[in-house]
Amino acid sequence: MRVEQALHVAAPAPVVWQVITDLARYPEWNPFVRACRSDLAVGSPIDMRVAGLAPFELAQREHILAHEPGRRLCYGLDGAFAGGVSSERCHVVTPLDAATTRYESSFALRGTLAPLVRLLLGRRLAHGFDAMTAALAKRAEALAALGSAAP
């Protein structure tokens, strides 16, 4: 299973990056992640509370897989979870000019139970990532309009 989005954001790349990495503020704009904590070091945990996949919020622990400050952040499950499901979620930021950024969002799910997860949660996951991508762009554009990378 793979979910990918790419869009141009009317905000400078550092502002888009700030939105991605300001985990404590996710509840203010992110419709999918209600809480998020990590030091973002490769190998470190990223602890989230996720909404929209079940009738209640789910606590989820993943690990940072890659972190290129200002450019790319990936995290996911290593395959030991649920008998062989691995995942990778990536955010990629590419400046197009001083005021416009290409933001790419991807999510990949692999492993023996991936088809079952796709069957049970595929539409919800796709909807959640679509909503999060749109909300991230809106947040970055609002911050850029204020002339600040932080509210």
Condensed to tens digits (0 to 9), the pLDDT of residues 1-59 reads: 888 999 999 999 999 999 999 999 999 999 989 999 999 999 999 999 988 666 678 89
Q: Give residue 148's identity as a one-letter amino acid code.
A: S
Query: Considering its fold, how many domains does the chain have in total?
Result: 1
Q: What is the CATH number of the domain that holds 140?
A: 3.30.530.20
| pTM exceeding the 0.75 threshold for the entire prediction | yes
Cα–Cα distance between 71 and 90 in angstroms, integer? 10
Condensed to tens digits (0 to 9), the pLDDT of residues 94-140 reads: 999 999 999 999 988 888 877 777 787 777 777 888 889 999 999 99
In a domain, 71, yes or no: yes
In a domain, 36, yes or no: no
In a domain, 42, yes or no: no
In a domain, 46, yes or no: no
In a domain, 92, yes or no: yes
CB-based contact 29:136 (threshold 8 Å): yes
CB-based contact 67:41 (threshold 8 Å): yes
In a domain, 116, yes or no: yes
Domain that holds residue 11: 2-22+64-146
